[in-house]
Amino acid sequence: MPNGENPKKTIAVIGGTGKEGGGLALRWAYAGYPIIIGSRSAEKAEQAAAQVNELLGKQAALGMDNPSAARQAELIVVSVPYAAHQDTLNAIKAEVTGKVVVDVTVPIQPPNFSTVHLPEGRTAAEEARALLGEGVRLVSAFQNVSAVHLKDLNHQVNCDVLVTGDDAEAKQEVIALAEAAGMHGIDAGPLVNAIVAESLTPMLVGINRRYKVKSAGIRITDLDGQGHD
Ligand SMILES: NC(=O)c1ccc[n+]([C@@H]2O[C@H](COP(=O)([O-])OP(=O)(O)OC[C@H]3O[C@@H](n4cnc5c(N)ncnc54)[C@H](OP(=O)(O)O)[C@@H]3O)[C@@H](O)[C@H]2O)c1
């Protein structure tokens, strides 16, 4: 654990060397969470962690191979391309029993980045549940957050985060992580509802293209019942 005295949970970001996971890892490190960046290559993970530490001017992140990262963390975030989803989950499966696992994966089928693709198991989240088993506290979130501005800590990420899962406490933890990263987490119901968030992402990619923008997102309005968002 990077900081033994920190009461915040240590988060492993599997695929934290990439765009989405790297941005989330940086924001959580900035918010004071001990971070472990996971990669298929320990060396690549160490380099990514060193970049986070340099940017923040403190020792906030470590880098490890994926199974070691999952073993040493209390909460695990999986942020890898769908094509690597199954292999990645198999690599960490033995290390995640009893832990909160947050799946960010969207079942996009390149090169059709703006077309909804429902995989054999209906959603990446449900495939993760089938593969990891019921002993894992699985939550699905962050699919609709564009990576584009995540690494700019001065940028207010202007979107909500749909959080789905069947473990109410785990979902609340992830809603708190969305807030820590500067966004608003919304309890969007059970894990089967992840089909909505996973399907929205390719739609947002298409909206980005058509409107010549880079980070279209979503907002749930009227949460205060007063007509304000
Ligand atoms: N980018 C976005 O704006 C965005 C927004 C919302 C959701 N998402 C979703 O978040 C997930 C991660 O997206 P991303 O854009 O961060 O992806 P990415 O940068 O292309 O890849 C993330 C990491 O996945 C790991 N990986 C493992 N197996 C891989 C393989 N076979 N091919 C390529 N990379 C592999 C790589 O880490 P190592 O090489 O270090 O193992 C890589 O750094 C995806 O499911 C994506 O659909 C992305």
pLDDT tens profile 113-170: 999 999 998 999 999 999 999 999 999 999 999 999 999 999 999 899 999 999 999 9
Tell me, using a 6 A CB cutoff, whether residue 44 lines ligand 1: yes
Distance 72 CA to ligand 1 centre (A): 21
Question: What does pTM read for this prediction?
Answer: 0.96
Q: Which residue's alpha carbon is at the smallest distance from atom 21 of ligand 1?
A: 18
Distance 103 CA to ligand 1 centre (A): 12
Tell me, using a 6 A CB cutoff, whether residue 164 lines ligand 1: no
Tell me, using a 6 A CB cutoff, whether residue 113 lines ligand 1: no
Q: What is the dihedral of CA 166, 178, 104, 28, to 10 degrees?
A: -130
Distance 148 CA to ligand 1 centre (A): 13
Tell me, using a 6 A CB cutoff, whether residue 180 lines ligand 1: no
Tell me, using a 6 A CB cutoff, whether residue 157 lines ligand 1: no
Atom number of ligand 1 nearest to Cα 144: 6
Tell me, using a 6 A CB cutoff, whether residue 79 lines ligand 1: yes
Tell me, using a 6 A CB cutoff, whether residue 123 lines ligand 1: no
Q: Which residue's alpha carbon is at the smallest distance from atom 42 of ligand 1?
A: 18
pLDDT tens per residue across span 190-213:
999 999 999 999 999 999 999 999
Tell me, using a 6 A CB cutoff, whether residue 21 lines ligand 1: yes
Q: Which pLDDT score is estimated for 4? A: 61
Contacts of the segment 132-136: beta carbons below 8 A, 24+ positions apart: 132/89, 132/93, 132/96, 132/101, 133/97, 135/97, 135/98, 136/96, 136/97, 136/98, 136/99, 136/101
Q: Which pLDDT score is estimated for 171? A: 98
Q: Which pLDDT score is estimated for 185? A: 98
Whether pLDDT at 228 is above 70: no
Q: Count CA atoms within 13 Å of residue 99 on its CB side.
A: 24
